[in-house]
Amino acid sequence: MAQVTDDDDTRHASVAQPDGGPGAARSRWHRIAAFPLRCYLTAQRGARALVRAVHSRWRRSLQLRVVTTTLLISALVTAVLGFFLVQQVLTGLLDAKREAALNDHKTGLDTAVSIMQEGDQSTDQDGRAKEITTELSNHSGTTGLYEVVILPTVGGLRGYATVEESSVPQRLRDEVRPSPELGEQYVTYTQIVDDDYRAPGLVVGARLSNTYELYYLFPLDHEQQMLDLVQNTVFFVGTVLILLLAVIAYIVTRQVVNPVRAAAGSAERLAAGDLSERMKVRGEDDLARLALSFNDMAGNLQEKIRELEELSQVQRQFASDVSHELRTPLTTIRMAGDLLYEDRDELEPHMGRSVELLQSQLERFEELLADLLEISRHDAGAATLSMERVDVRDAVMKAVGDAEQIAEKSGIKVVMRLPAEPCTAEFDARRINRILRNLIVNAIEHSEGKDVIVTAAGDRDAVAVGVRDFGVGLKEGEEHLCFDRFWRADPARARTTGGTGLGLAIAKEDAQLHGGWLQAWGMPGKGSQFRLSLPRREGQELRGSPLPLAPPEMATGRVRGFSATMGEGAPGAGSADTVGERAEAGAPEEVS
């Protein structure tokens, strides 16, 4: 035990030793130095997230936009009106103060002149100036207290003041001194300064005599207090008014937005398939009329959809019943046709040809009935799958073998490009073989005598088969229409292989039943390509295809596609095409 402990201590010591070395110190310093950067980046991400959240909320909420706009406009209007109100009050106060100050100064000026005229001014100028200052400072004007300053115009004389002489601005003295008339008043604003006092003030000055100037300084404390009171009142009232307007806007918009939100929710549920959805009707206003109109629309829509469903059910039932009912007379006609066909060599040539035509049309009629029954099962939701794990290469070779006679008759070679390794998936072999056989036969019919290429590939999640021809191709928009029932690219074109016009429609339904895609690409004069994509496992969601929808040589051209599971449009095809290069590697096998 002691030896184990010693070894452990030695090991811990050897491990801990580097922590105190230069490398560990540098690492700690790097972490410490990087801490502000991490904080900055975290704050930046948080700010961006907040901005995104506010922007999203702003775009989605009509009520928020209305209330915020009301707040901003109210604040702007209140600020402008408050500014003009305060300016008007300030102008009124200053004008009244100015008028009272001029009157008080005029009264003091008359008093000072009378005092100076009572004595011998030539012998006692300083004494008279001091007496005038004392006398005037003891008086109180109608606007409150004021300060008195008497300053000499010429040198050699003293000035007297109840505050510091610097309270009289020099610019005012420069106006008063050269005044040609005694008693002419001049007014300006100043800062009244005393030992422990400093306040804004109004100063009025005039020449008292040829040797002195008389100035009255009126503090503006009272006016400043009144102005502060007005400003505070305007600010408080404006703030309360803005908040009240915001509350009013919130209440008013809530009365409008809530019914609109309810209507939007009802419309969403109605669009989702809940045809029994109705809005609550309150009152008799415009919103109530909206609710009534919505409910009438929903009721009419529900009724029309019910009628269409009933009509569709009748049509499906009619097609199924007709198909079943036609089987009995068709069987009888088929038996008679077979007897005639077997004895066609004993008939006259024109009668034998008629029997052959009868036989071929009976076969096509049987195929049409079989397709009608199959499509009616899909419409009724009664189609089922018999899933098994199958190598898609075997399905391709079987479909090509079934179409071999048609290809030989048309002088067309079918080239198979199959992966070297097994490519298995879970699907209904019968239905997938029918899809592939239909695609190959269609390609042979529209190949204009050129080869048809069948390519198979697989990846981890999906398998795909592409059938490529180099015939007339598809025009714009026809890649969607080609899966419609009884659709033809050229209505005047005869069917050379005796198709029923339901093959691609059934193939699309079979692909959807497997959770797969059946898509088409084509360009006029460049041929077309149909791609079948299936998930490897039953019930697995198909997210991509191992084959590109457009042929590799046309990758830079215009690509159009249709997805049997996603419906019409490029998104399904585009997302599949992005993974098209994931085709399973291996030397392709070509079989003619």
Per-residue pLDDT for the chain (592 aa), expressed as one digit of tens each? 344 344 444 344 444 444 455 566 667 777 777 778 888 888 888 888 888 888 888 887 888 888 888 889 989 999 999 999 999 999 999 999 899 889 888 888 888 888 777 755 444 667 777 778 777 877 754 445 788 888 888 777 778 888 888 888 989 888 888 888 888 899 999 888 887 778 889 999 998 888 888 888 888 888 888 989 999 999 999 999 989 988 988 888 888 888 888 888 888 888 888 888 888 888 777 778 888 888 888 888 888 888 887 777 776 677 667 766 777 787 788 787 777 778 777 777 778 788 778 877 777 777 776 766 666 666 666 667 788 888 989 989 988 988 888 888 888 888 899 988 888 888 888 888 888 988 998 888 888 888 899 999 988 889 999 999 988 888 877 777 777 776 665 554 544 444 556 778 888 888 888 888 888 888 888 888 899 999 988 888 888 888 888 888 775 544 333 333 333 333 333 333 333 333 333 333 333 3
Contacts of 68 (CB under 8 A, 6+ apart): 58
Closest CA to 551 of 522, 515, 585: 522
Check residue 122 and report its DSSP letter: T
**CA separation for the pair 237, 82 (Å, rounded):** 10
Count CB neighbours of 541 within 10 A. Answer: 8
CA 293-295-300 angle, 5° bins: 95
Count CB neighbours of 299 within 10 A. Answer: 13
- Give me the sign of the Cα torsion angle 480, 399, 401, 424: positive
HSE-CB at 495 with a 13 A cutoff on CA atoms is 15
Q: List, in sequence order, every beta strand (DSSP E) within 208-304.
A: 212-219
CA 215-221-224 angle, 5° bins: 120
Task: Say what the pTM is.
Answer: 0.47
pLDDT score at 57: 81
